[in-house]
């Protein structure tokens, strides 16, 4: 899936005008058109090249006029897989300021900020809220026959190092390793797990 994020007001003020051109446009829910990368003010010899465009096809193209709910709608089937016991991963890839943190919903998490029930809410808080809601539904339907315990870990991969972000100060953090057990399951060694009771605790 590819997302074309809209320009923000800050970009209009901070980015030189010559770089403020739209280079990628959605054509449909599954395709987009990209400029060739020619200069915004082409010379006569470059004018033909400046008009060249390429078309690309994806499973889903999220246009700049579509909000966070459209992004989550495309990602939400992974919640079903996760609740069935499968590993689920979302990899946000792109250059600096391309909107990865905004799309994932981690760009404004702070102690004084409300992250739930907001149009800015990205994939992570929406998925966490849905997981807890689904657990509550299953508990209600089973009339107490099923209960759930949730634990969360927070790992950063930086320069091929695994960093446990919940393990305290950098100087005292244990070494985190990825191992394989005798049954072929992938396990984390040395990773702190914290019990959580609701979505708000996870995001905090």
Within a 13 Å sphere around the CA of 157, how many CA atoms are in the beta-carbon half? 4
Give the whole-number percent of the chain exceeding pLDDT 90.
Answer: 38
CB 24 within 8 A of CB 32: yes
Which residues, other chains included, contact 60 with Cβ-Cβ below 8 Å and sequence gap of 6+?
1, 2, 29, 30, 74
The runs of H, that is alpha helices, within the chain are 9-14, 47-50, 68-75, 77-83, 100-104, 123-141, 199-203
pLDDT per residue as tens digits for the range 29-83: 999 999 876 554 555 555 554 557 899 999 999 998 898 999 999 999 999 999 8
pLDDT per residue as tens digits for the range 92-133: 999 888 889 889 987 765 555 554 456 788 999 999 999 999
């Amino acid at each position: 899936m590819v997302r074309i994020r809209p320009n923000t007001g800050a970009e209009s003020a901070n980015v030189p005008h010559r770089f403020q051109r739209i280079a990628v446009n959605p054509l449909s829910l599954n395709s987009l058109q990209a400029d060739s990368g020619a200069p915004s003010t082409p010379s006569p010899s470059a004018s033909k090249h400046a008009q060249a465009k390429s078309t690309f096809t994806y499973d889903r193209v999220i246009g700049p006029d579509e909000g966070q709910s459209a992004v989550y709608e495309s990602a939400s089937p992974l919640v079903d897989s996760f609740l069935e016991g499968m590993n689920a991963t979302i990899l946000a890839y792109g250059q600096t300021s391309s909107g990865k943190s905004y799309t994932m919903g981690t760009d404004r998490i702070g102690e004084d900020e409300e992250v739930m029930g907001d149009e800015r809410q990205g994939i992570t808080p929406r998925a966490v809220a849905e997981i807890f809601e689904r657990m509550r539904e299953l508990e209600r339907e089973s009339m107490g026959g099923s209960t759930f315990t949730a634990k969360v870990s927070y790992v950063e991969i930086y320069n091929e190092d695994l960093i446990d972000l919940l393990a305290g100060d950098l100087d005292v953090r244990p070494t985190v390793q990825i191992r394989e057990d005798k049954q072929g399951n992938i396990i984390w060694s040395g990773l702190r797990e914290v019990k959580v009771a609701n979505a708000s605790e996870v995001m905090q």
